[in-house]
Amino acid sequence: MGEVVKRAYKYRFHPSFEQAEQLNRTFGCVRLVYNRALEARTRAWAVDGRRTSYVQSSAWLTEWKRTDDLAFLNEVSSVPLQQTLRHLQGAFAAFWDKRTRYPRFKSKRKSRASAEYTRSAFRWRDGQLTLAKMDAPLAIVWSRPLPEGAQPSTVTVSRDAAGRWFVSLLVEDPTVAPLPPTHGVVGVDAGITSLVTLSTGEKVTNPRHERADRRKLAKAQRELSRKERGSNNRAKARVKVARIHARIADRRRDQLHKLSTRLVRENQTVVIEDLSVRNMLRNHRLARAISDAAWSDLRNMLEYKAAWYGRTVIAVDRWLPSSKTCSACGRVNTTLALGVRVWTCPGCDATHDRDANAARTILAAGLAER
């Protein structure tokens, strides 16, 4: 019997006025502690050349709470403040391992407003969740049931730019188990005209969610630009823009979840390209379309779902000339122009759809690496 998977279940909830005030205060304190600790750790490295541990930053937090200027930190639960220091420690560990860039300061408007509570900071009883420093449980909209007998180990509360409140419950999910083995294998070629093309020849249509709401979004952004900075009308206009962005993101995420789940369920091995999306976004003519396709999100979903269900995801070299390589004989057609969508191999006279051929080449390269 394998290890039980921990899975996060995310729900909307509607806080009371008092709960919203307490949570907003907590978000502000979390952001302040993170930024103060980052500043102090950066200074310690610049002045003394020493790395600072989580233990030292936790000691700083204790000292800050004793000062008159930061005494308000005692008004919120201490657990989210400790958790943000742990997240900062993780960010530094990733930087030292050269997996990401140096940690950045959290912005009030641009950064995600969230707070993480561990078991000591919330009460879970009879399907109701009550956070520390609160008298009443959260009014959660249970859009789907938790696994039977689930006991949350961590609770994360967040508020998005559109003003929507979410709570994410991390639980052990015994329903996630390896699927029966299958002989199915598939290569996936990411695109823009088609979201992906499979080695079977199937093309998954790109809904272009951002394009569908582009006129509505542009109108809302124009209205926002006309509002006086700092005014209530500008704040309302900003929320209106955020709601359109949220609707686009929700539809995109829903489609990617359905596609990734289907690919993982139907195939034992899924082969993809190791694309550098960040570098591709430098092409300003294609950046909007590439962002809307969300290839990185699709890859992430494929990888964690494959780990859940006992499947394999293989990423082949991004420099593989998949579109130019004949999937029938292996010859590389170096003269193939980007605009050519159907071509005939000079070596074996096989006629290829450009994207389907690329997907078959990616599949062959991935299977050769196994």
Show which residues are catalytic: 189, 273, 355
What secondary structure, in 3-state letters, does the chain show?
CCCCEEEEEEEEECCCHHHHHHHHHHHHHHHHHHHHHHHHHHHHHHHHCCCCCHHHHHHHHHHHHCCCCCHHHHHCCHHHHHHHHHHHHHHHHHHHCCCCCCCCCCCCCCCCEEEEEEHHHEEEECCEEEECCCCCCCCECCCCCCCCCCCCCEEEEEECCCCCEEEEEEEEECCCCCCCCCCCEEEEEECCCEEEEECCCCEEECCCHHHHCHHHHHHHHHHHHHCCCCCHHHHHHHHHHHHHHHHHHHHHHHHHHHHHHHHHHHCCEEEEECCCHHHHCCCCCCHHHHHHHCHHHHHHHHHHHHHHHCCEEEEECCCCCCCCECCCCCCECCCCCCCCCEEECCCCCCEEEHHHHHHHHHHHHHHHHC
